[in-house]
Amino acid sequence: MWPFIVGAAAVVGVGTIAKSVLDRWKEEEEEIKRLEEEENKRLLDSGIAEVDEMTGKEFEKFLDIHFRKLGYSVSLTQDTQDYGADLILYKDGWKTVVQAKRSKNPVGIKAVQEVAGAVRHYKGNKGRVITNNRFTENAYNLADSNEVELWDRKYLIEFILLAKHCN
């Protein structure tokens, strides 16, 4: 009889521990979700001044959230070996490959070359480079001959305002 009582107590103890672990895991998941929602709100509330201070990864996430608000499906590419793309946008049957360049300097032809190659690699319909700065004349020339859209600071501000007023 004694081994049965000890065994039953052990099962009850393990069950209590398992419930405690599961409860803690659920609390941690809820906290992570809450923090992600706060970060998304912070990024959605950001303007061009905040964009100017972001890291490249924050800028990519910023664009991700804003495009989603405008009804796009978005895939962020991996941090390395992304073949020149940071985001892949899907909407209305179109696949747009995006290179995000948060920069303190004008963006040159390298970004255009990268996204032009990425469009082919990801089998996209078009390419786009988005920056918080401006583009060089050579970047515009290369973009034109490769059918790559260039969104400069002015266009980015318009995009931010559009997303802010979209319900």
DSSP codes of every residue in 14-45:
HHHHHHHHHHHHHHHHHHHHHHHHHHHHHHHH
pLDDT at 5: 54
pLDDT at 4: 53
pLDDT at 60: 95
**Which of 99, 130, 102 is CA-nearest to residue 113?**
99
pLDDT classification of 131: cutoffs 50, 70, 90: very high
Query: Residues 37-88: pLDDT tens digits?
Result: 888 788 888 899 999 999 999 999 999 999 999 999 999 998 777 788 999 9
Q: What percent of the chain has pLDDT over 90?
A: 66
d(CA 9, CA 1): 13
Q: Is 135 exposed, middle or buried (0-12, 13-18, 19+ CB in 10 A)?
A: buried
pLDDT at 109: 97
User: What is the distance of C-alpha 59 from the center of its chain?
Assistant: 8
Note whether 123 and 90 are within 8 A (CB): no
Note whether 119 and 73 are within 8 A (CB): no
Cα torsion 29, 32, 36, 38: sign: positive
Q: What percent of the chain has pLDDT over 70?
A: 90
Q: Stretch 4-32: mean pLDDT, rounded?
A: 71
